[in-house]
Amino acid sequence: MNADFNKELFKREVKENCKRLFRKTYDEVSNREMFQAVSLAIKEFIVDDWILTHRAYEKQDVKILYYLSMEFLTGRALGNILINICANEEVKEALEELNFDLNAIEDEERDPALGNGGLGRLAACFLDSLATLGYGAYGCGIRYRFGMFAQRIQDGYQREVPDDWLKYGNPFEIRRPEYACEVKFGGTVTATVDEKGREHYSLKDYNSVMAIPYDMPVVGYDSNIVNTLRIWDAEPINNFNLDSFDRGDYAKAIEQENLAKNIVEVLYPNDNHRVGKELRLKQQYFFVSATLQTAIAKYKESHNGTLEGFADKVVFQMNDTHPTLTVPELMRLLMDEEKYEWDEAWDIVTRVCAYTNHTIMSEALEKWPIDLFEQLLPRVYSIVNEINRRFVLRIKTLYPNDESKIANMAILYDGQVRMAYLAIVGSFSVNGVARLHTEILKARELKDFYEMWPGKFHNMTNGITQRRFMLHANPRLSDFITERIGKEWITDLPQIRKLEDYIDDEDSLREFLRIKYENKLRLVRYIREHNNIEVDPLSIFDVQVKRLHEYKRQLMNILHIMYVYNKLKNDTEFFRNYYPRTYIIGGKAAAGYERAKMTIKLINSVADVINNDASIHGKLKVVFIEDYRVSNAEIIFAASEVSEQISTASREASGTGNMKFMLNGAVTLGTMDGANVEIVEEVGEENAFVFGMSSEEVMEHERLNDYNPMDIFSCNDELRDVLMQLINGTYSPDDPELFRGIYNSLLTNFSGRPDTYFVLKDFMSYHEASMKTQDAYRDRLTWARMAMLQTCRCGKFSSDRTVSQYIDEIWHLDKIRI
Ligand code: 26W
């Protein structure tokens, strides 16, 4: 209940909005129109707090966090805002009184899909936590015209469809042309020397665009704080003077127009894989430069026009290396615009910049060819060059006789700019996103940097917001919890441990199972509607939803399903014992990632065969969820029972899906990778199904290069049968060669190494662990206890905890008083 929310007033607003927007009375509008009318009314309701929050920033002169991220995977806004202003029930009632259904209205909102996966969703969770805890923060990103593509499955293949998410407008955003600023590309640098002998640099013959910010509200839970997600759009510079234009100006104007159109056109759909497209570097500079310009202007405005004290009042958190240009661009602005000397400027930069690493996958580490970089950003490049020169000098002084250190650490090396190294050198803090991940960074990937600056390194184990992934996604379980332990868990997740008082209470356990069952029915309906597949709600819901990537090993999952299917057909004992199971898999593959796309095709081909085989009596079903995204994720997590977290150990930095499953009472079937390690630590090994090689074992095999999948192939008949089915047409009768590439990837050496994801190596241990889940599942109360324990023990994995840790160790923000 929100005391300030007046239902009657709200209804009146909504009716007015229907007229204002659509020239219709409320009983004539469609659901989509009603969504607009409702959203506008809600925006009105929060706008005062939004204004007051920003006034408080200034009055209280609080330190401000700028969270720079190329991705914010916020998911739908309306439902989340209603939850966070505690007016969900009232709005639901109000709409019922107007003969509308809130769920249906929420379903009209397009997911703003401004992110790929984990990194983007984490950014959204952090914003939710910051606003809830009451800290001043801006999310800073890009307003992509087309977000993450929508995935369609056609004939089993992924097809990418443009995501025109702005088609019907975005009711919550506000365009802020008054904060527009210019961002320049290309050109040549000219230096002039003043009477004091100081050099001044400026650009000429450049192209430029205007960056126009759009602000989206980030509403804290029951906190009256409304922070801002500021996403930048690009527009052509409007200095095109018709009276004086000649051919040259005309061509230039068109060029600028195209630059502006292209820059924010699309989110690159790559996750953990760099493509090295010039346009992406443009995007990076575009939003970084615009963010820094406004941050500086804003600070000066409220501090008598000076930048004094700037380093104590702002912090720029770089979400992976994508915004690393923050380091040299801030140098440029401080020196070229604000007239600081190098040393003073460097002192400021290295007190305000901090870097989070989200991956150790080498193909994800960003590097830019020097010539491309220099041509696009000549002045910024000269600064990077100077940063590198000074840093290399330092390496030489520290390690006078060790040439390898330069090769291992220099920012400019081998014709490339190594962005991660630039980020580390320019930051006061470097952090990994789970304990294991940070340890691997320190011991391996970033070893030399850790040796040089041990104090810079931090671990910040990821977290998720329980407001979206429990309160909004799973209202039934939310009520169950609140009825028993009160509602403190909503803003203090560790309180959820109190639920453990009920862990041996049979009524509670049965109720817990009943709720899971209801949520499974909701997913059954979703699958019926979207896949036209009938699944058994009494079967085990075993789920893997995440981006498709070889290291995440969806392939191991589907091979194992093929393996089980064979056994069901050939082994009557196995059949009799087998507990019915529904495998649910979902996720997008990067548009250019052939192997991942073929894995999707394989999953769908296998699903087709299995789901239509009457001889197994529906014991096994396979469902591929099309277009996995935040909105359907909420339905999926709530209905899941087994959480597949099966990456090759050492490869998954953290994972955050694993935490969403845990929160919703799904038991982990996983490797000791990423945050799984910490999840298992919380629930105890007896309440998880752990399998496979440890990260040390994986790294040792990598070092020795002694893994030979053929050994396994030749002595495991059943597994060999599965692999042979990839190339004998069992799942592709029209083209038996279709899955040859996948087959080869598991067995053949590429560049001297066989399958670097160790699929066959972990396979049998995976199978055993999977079988153990069904043994546990059989005893309903044992299972209920294990499942509920996941929920009880997930306190650590709230993004409220993560954000608080960032604040204590890195950001040092002050709470806003409202
Ligand atoms: C340059 C291409 C590119 C694009 C995206 C490289 C790397 C990325 C991201 C860093 C990939 C990503 O989302 N990483 C995930 O970050 C999550 C949040 O920390 C972790 O939970 C996941 O384990 C990690 O894969």
pLDDT of 495 above 70: yes
User: What is the arithmetic mean of pLDDT over 76-81?
Assistant: 98
Tell me the pLDDT band of 239, cut-offs 50, 70 and 90: low
What pLDDT score was predicted for residue 647? 99
Tell me the pLDDT band of 750, cut-offs 50, 70 and 90: confident
CA distance readout (Å), 186 to 159, 204, 500: 36, 9, 61
What pLDDT score was predicted for residue 246? 56
What pLDDT score was predicted for residue 248? 65
CA distance readout (Å), 771 to 158, 330, 538, 569, 764: 31, 55, 17, 17, 11
pLDDT of 603 above 80: yes
pLDDT of 226 above 90: yes
In whole numbers, what is the pLDDT of the chain averaged over residues? 97
Distance CA 489, CA 470 (A): 10
What pLDDT score was predicted for residue 818? 86
Which of 338, 120, 116 shows the shortest CA–CA distance to 229?
A: 120
What pLDDT score was predicted for residue 334? 98
**Phi, then psi, of 171 in degrees rounded to 5:** -65, -20
Which of 774, 771, 775 shows the shortest CA–CA distance to 560?
A: 771
Dihedral angle, C-alpha 70, 286, 214, 80, nearest 10 °: 0
Tell me the pLDDT band of 245, cut-offs 50, 70 and 90: low
CB 287 within 8 A of CB 141: yes
Contacting residues for 174 by C-beta, under 8 A, at least 6 apart: 214, 215
| 3-state secondary structure at position 627 | coil
User: What is the arithmetic mean of pLDDT over 38-54?
Assistant: 98
pLDDT of 13 above 80: yes
For residue 172, the Cα-to-chain-centroid distance in whole angstroms is 21
User: Going along 506-607, which residue ranges are E strands?
Assistant: 540-545, 581-586
**Phi, then psi, of 244 in degrees rounded to 5:** -105, 10
Site of tokens 């990837």: 745
Atom 6, ligand 1: residue with shortest CA distance: 272
Q: pLDDT tens, 546-577?
A: 999 999 999 999 999 999 999 999 999 999 99
CA of 518 to the centre of ligand 1 (A): 33
CA of 358 to the centre of ligand 1 (A): 5
CA of 10 to the centre of ligand 1 (A): 41
Half-sphere exposure of 301 (CA within 13 A, CB side): 10
Which of 588, 620, 623 shows the shortest CA–CA distance to 603?
A: 623
Question: Which residues are designated catalytic?
Answer: 358, 546-547, 552, 656, 660
Using CB atoms within 10 Å of the CB of residue 275, give its burial: 0 to 12 exposed, 13 to 18 middle, 19+ buried: exposed
Distance CA 321, CA 359 (A): 10
Minimum-distance ligand 1 atom for the alpha carbon of 433: 19
Q: How many helices (H) and strands (E) does the chain have?
A: 33, 23
Q: pLDDT tens, 589-600?
A: 999 999 999 999
Q: What is the DSSP string of 67-111?
A: EE-S-B----SHHHHHHHTT-HHHHHHHHHHTT--HHHHHTTSPP
Which of 492, 503, 519, 508 shows the shortest CA–CA distance to 684?
A: 503
**Phi, then psi, of 47 in degrees rounded to 5:** -65, -30
- Tell me the Ramachandran region of residue 61: left when phi exceeds 0, alpha when psi lies from -120 to 50, beta otherwise: left
CA of 653 to the centre of ligand 1 (A): 8
pLDDT of 410 above 90: yes
User: What is the arithmetic mean of pLDDT over 582-588?
Assistant: 99
Distance CA 212, CA 234 (A): 6
Query: What is the widest separation between alpha-carbon atoms in the chain?
Result: 93
| 3-state secondary structure at position 549 | coil
Distance CA 484, CA 622 (A): 36
**Phi, then psi, of 758 in degrees rounded to 5:** 55, 40
Distance CA 394, CA 409 (A): 11
Query: Angle 550-553-559 (CA atoms, 0-180°, nearest 5)?
Result: 120
User: What is the arithmetic mean of pLDDT over 216-237?
Assistant: 97
Token digits of residue 259: 């630059």
Q: pLDDT tens, 264-303?
A: 999 999 999 999 999 999 999 999 999 999 999 999 999 9
User: What is the arithmetic mean of pLDDT over 672-700?
Assistant: 98
- Tell me the Ramachandran region of residue 758: left when phi exceeds 0, alpha when psi lies from -120 to 50, beta otherwise: left
Distance CA 695, CA 443 (A): 12
Q: Which amino acid, 417?
A: V
Using CA of residue 501, residue 505, residue 511, residue 514, what is the dihedral sign?
positive
What pLDDT score was predicted for residue 251? 80
Token digits of residue 399: 């390690």
CB 228 within 8 A of CB 206: no
CB 264 within 8 A of CB 283: yes
Structure pTM? 0.98
With the most atoms of ligand 1 within 8 angstroms of its CB, the residue from 119, 368, 545 to mutate is: 119
What pLDDT score was predicted for residue 247? 56
CA of 716 to the centre of ligand 1 (A): 35
pLDDT of 253 above 90: no
CB 508 within 8 A of CB 484: yes
Minimum-distance ligand 1 atom for the alpha carbon of 71: 5
CB 489 within 8 A of CB 606: no
CA of 73 to the centre of ligand 1 (A): 12
Site of tokens 């250190």: 405
Minimum-distance ligand 1 atom for the alpha carbon of 120: 13
CA of 127 to the centre of ligand 1 (A): 18
**Phi, then psi, of 318 in degrees rounded to 5:** -95, 115
Distance CA 626, CA 587 (A): 8
User: What is the arithmetic mean of pLDDT over 496-507?
Assistant: 98
pLDDT of 634 above 80: yes
Tell me the pLDDT band of 129, cut-offs 50, 70 and 90: very high
With the most atoms of ligand 1 within 8 angstroms of its CB, the residue from 317, 318, 359 to mutate is: 359
User: Ligand 1 site: residues with CB under 6 angstroms?
Assistant: 116-119, 122, 270-274, 320, 358-359, 364, 366, 433, 462, 652-656, 674
What pLDDT score was predicted for residue 373? 98
Token digits of residue 592: 């250019």
What pLDDT score was predicted for residue 1? 80
Distance CA 553, CA 561 (A): 13
Site of tokens 């789901």: 611
Atom 10, ligand 1: residue with shortest CA distance: 358
User: What is the arithmetic mean of pLDDT over 316-340?
Assistant: 98
CB 283 within 8 A of CB 263: yes
What's the order of all strands across the beta sheet hosting 642-645?
620-625, 581-586, 540-545, 642-645, 667-670, 689-690
CB 489 within 8 A of CB 466: yes
CB 628 within 8 A of CB 584: no
pLDDT of 114 above 90: yes
Atom 16, ligand 1: residue with shortest CA distance: 119
